[in-house]
Amino acid sequence: MEECIFCKIINNQIPSYKVYEDKDYLAFLTIMPINPGHTLLIPKKHVPYIFDLDEKTLSEILIKAQKIAHILKQAFHPKTNRIGIMVAGGEVHHTHLHLIPMDYDSDLTFTRQKSASPEELSLALKKIKDNNF
Ligand SMILES: [Zn+2]
Protein backbone atom coordinates (compact mmCIF):
# COMPACT_ATOMS: atom_id res chain seq x y z
CA MET A 1 0.00 0.00 0.00
CA GLU A 2 3.05 2.24 0.42
CA GLU A 3 2.95 3.30 -3.19
CA CYS A 4 -0.79 4.01 -3.27
CA ILE A 5 -1.36 7.71 -3.86
CA PHE A 6 -4.79 7.63 -2.17
CA CYS A 7 -3.37 5.93 0.94
CA LYS A 8 -0.78 8.72 1.03
CA ILE A 9 -3.58 11.30 0.83
CA ILE A 10 -5.40 9.54 3.69
CA ASN A 11 -2.19 9.64 5.76
CA ASN A 12 -1.64 13.33 4.90
CA GLN A 13 1.66 12.50 3.19
CA ILE A 14 0.21 14.23 0.13
CA PRO A 15 -1.96 17.32 0.65
CA SER A 16 -5.50 17.33 -0.73
CA TYR A 17 -8.56 19.54 -0.95
CA LYS A 18 -10.74 17.74 1.59
CA VAL A 19 -14.48 17.90 1.14
CA TYR A 20 -15.45 15.41 3.84
CA GLU A 21 -13.73 13.08 6.27
CA ASP A 22 -14.74 10.67 8.98
CA LYS A 23 -12.97 7.69 10.50
CA ASP A 24 -13.62 5.34 7.59
CA TYR A 25 -14.06 7.58 4.53
CA LEU A 26 -12.47 10.55 2.83
CA ALA A 27 -13.73 12.76 0.02
CA PHE A 28 -11.47 15.23 -1.76
CA LEU A 29 -11.41 17.25 -4.95
CA THR A 30 -9.74 15.57 -7.89
CA ILE A 31 -6.99 17.61 -9.50
CA MET A 32 -8.37 16.42 -12.88
CA PRO A 33 -12.00 17.53 -12.71
CA ILE A 34 -14.65 17.12 -15.39
CA ASN A 35 -16.51 20.03 -13.79
CA PRO A 36 -15.74 22.23 -10.77
CA GLY A 37 -16.51 20.32 -7.58
CA HIS A 38 -15.67 16.90 -9.07
CA THR A 39 -14.96 14.89 -5.92
CA LEU A 40 -13.47 11.49 -5.22
CA LEU A 41 -14.91 9.47 -2.35
CA ILE A 42 -12.75 6.66 -1.00
CA PRO A 43 -12.87 4.17 1.85
CA LYS A 44 -9.80 4.51 4.07
CA LYS A 45 -9.35 0.78 3.81
CA HIS A 46 -7.14 -0.04 0.79
CA VAL A 47 -9.22 -2.29 -1.45
CA PRO A 48 -8.29 -2.03 -5.14
CA TYR A 49 -11.60 -3.05 -6.69
CA ILE A 50 -15.03 -1.80 -5.61
CA PHE A 51 -16.72 -5.18 -5.90
CA ASP A 52 -14.14 -6.71 -3.58
CA LEU A 53 -15.32 -4.43 -0.75
CA ASP A 54 -17.04 -6.14 2.15
CA GLU A 55 -20.83 -5.69 2.11
CA LYS A 56 -20.85 -3.19 4.96
CA THR A 57 -18.36 -0.85 3.24
CA LEU A 58 -20.02 -1.28 -0.14
CA SER A 59 -23.38 -0.16 1.22
CA GLU A 60 -21.97 2.51 3.53
CA ILE A 61 -19.99 4.19 0.77
CA LEU A 62 -23.16 4.85 -1.19
CA ILE A 63 -24.75 6.46 1.85
CA LYS A 64 -21.65 8.67 2.20
CA ALA A 65 -21.92 9.46 -1.52
CA GLN A 66 -25.46 10.69 -0.94
CA LYS A 67 -24.28 13.01 1.83
CA ILE A 68 -21.51 14.43 -0.37
CA ALA A 69 -23.83 14.74 -3.37
CA HIS A 70 -26.09 16.99 -1.26
CA ILE A 71 -23.08 19.08 -0.28
CA LEU A 72 -21.93 19.41 -3.93
CA LYS A 73 -25.40 20.21 -5.23
CA GLN A 74 -25.78 22.94 -2.66
CA ALA A 75 -22.44 24.46 -3.64
CA PHE A 76 -22.46 24.16 -7.44
CA HIS A 77 -26.13 24.12 -8.54
CA PRO A 78 -25.46 22.01 -11.65
CA LYS A 79 -27.82 22.64 -14.57
CA THR A 80 -29.27 19.11 -14.46
CA ASN A 81 -29.80 19.55 -10.71
CA ARG A 82 -27.97 16.24 -10.30
CA ILE A 83 -24.64 14.88 -9.16
CA GLY A 84 -23.42 12.08 -11.40
CA ILE A 85 -21.54 9.07 -10.13
CA MET A 86 -18.92 7.04 -11.97
CA VAL A 87 -16.60 4.21 -10.96
CA ALA A 88 -13.85 2.89 -13.17
CA GLY A 89 -10.75 2.45 -11.05
CA GLY A 90 -8.36 2.08 -13.92
CA GLU A 91 -5.77 4.64 -12.88
CA VAL A 92 -5.48 4.41 -9.12
CA HIS A 93 -6.06 0.96 -7.69
CA HIS A 94 -7.78 2.10 -4.51
CA THR A 95 -11.58 2.05 -4.71
CA HIS A 96 -12.95 5.49 -5.54
CA LEU A 97 -16.27 6.92 -6.58
CA HIS A 98 -16.35 9.98 -8.82
CA LEU A 99 -19.06 12.45 -7.82
CA ILE A 100 -19.56 15.04 -10.51
CA PRO A 101 -21.84 18.08 -10.61
CA MET A 102 -23.55 17.53 -13.98
CA ASP A 103 -24.52 20.34 -16.28
CA TYR A 104 -25.34 17.88 -19.09
CA ASP A 105 -25.79 14.12 -19.16
CA SER A 106 -22.93 14.00 -21.62
CA ASP A 107 -20.56 15.38 -18.95
CA LEU A 108 -20.03 11.88 -17.62
CA THR A 109 -17.00 10.83 -19.58
CA PHE A 110 -13.41 10.65 -18.40
CA THR A 111 -12.27 12.14 -21.70
CA ARG A 112 -13.55 15.50 -20.38
CA GLN A 113 -11.16 15.50 -17.39
CA LYS A 114 -8.63 18.29 -17.42
CA SER A 115 -6.18 19.45 -14.82
CA ALA A 116 -7.26 22.28 -12.55
CA SER A 117 -4.97 24.96 -11.11
CA PRO A 118 -4.52 25.29 -7.34
CA GLU A 119 -6.53 28.54 -7.59
CA GLU A 120 -9.46 26.75 -9.26
CA LEU A 121 -9.36 23.96 -6.68
CA SER A 122 -9.18 26.40 -3.76
CA LEU A 123 -12.11 28.32 -5.20
CA ALA A 124 -14.17 25.13 -5.57
CA LEU A 125 -13.36 24.11 -1.99
CA LYS A 126 -14.29 27.57 -0.71
CA LYS A 127 -17.64 27.30 -2.51
CA ILE A 128 -18.28 23.98 -0.78
CA LYS A 129 -17.35 25.32 2.66
CA ASP A 130 -19.24 28.60 2.22
CA ASN A 131 -22.40 26.81 1.19
CA ASN A 132 -22.44 24.00 3.69
CA PHE A 133 -20.78 24.90 6.96
ZN1 LIG B 1 -4.64 2.81 -1.14
For ligand 1, the distance from its centroid to the CA atom of residue 5, given in whole angstroms, is: 6
Query: What percent of the chain lies above the pLDDT cut of 90?
Result: 93
Which residues have C-beta within 8 Å of that of residue 67, sequence separation ≥ 6?
A: 20
pLDDT at 10: 97
User: 14 C-alpha vs ligand 1 centroid, how far in Å?
Assistant: 12
Question: Is residue 15 classed exposed, middle or buried when 0-12, 13-18 and 19+ CB atoms within 10 A define those classes?
Answer: exposed
96 is an active site residue? yes
Question: What pTM does this model have?
Answer: 0.95
Confidence of residue 59 (pLDDT cuts 50, 70, 90): very high
DSSP state for residue 114 in the 8-state scheme: -
Measured in angstroms, how far is the CA atom of residue 33 from the centroid of ligand 1? 20
Distance 7 CA to ligand 1 centre (A): 4
Q: Does residue 49 surpass a pLDDT of 60?
A: yes
Catalytic residue among 38, 94, 96, 98: 96
- The domains of the chain, with CATH numbers, are 5-128 (3.30.428.10)
Instruction: Give residue-wise pLDDT tens across range 61-118.
Output: 999 999 999 999 999 999 999 999 999 987 899 999 999 999 999 999 999 999 999 9
* pLDDT, average across residues 28-40: 97
The residues near 35 (Cβ < 8 Å, ≥ 6 apart) are 76, 78, 100, 101, 102, 103, 107
DSSP SS3 for 83: strand
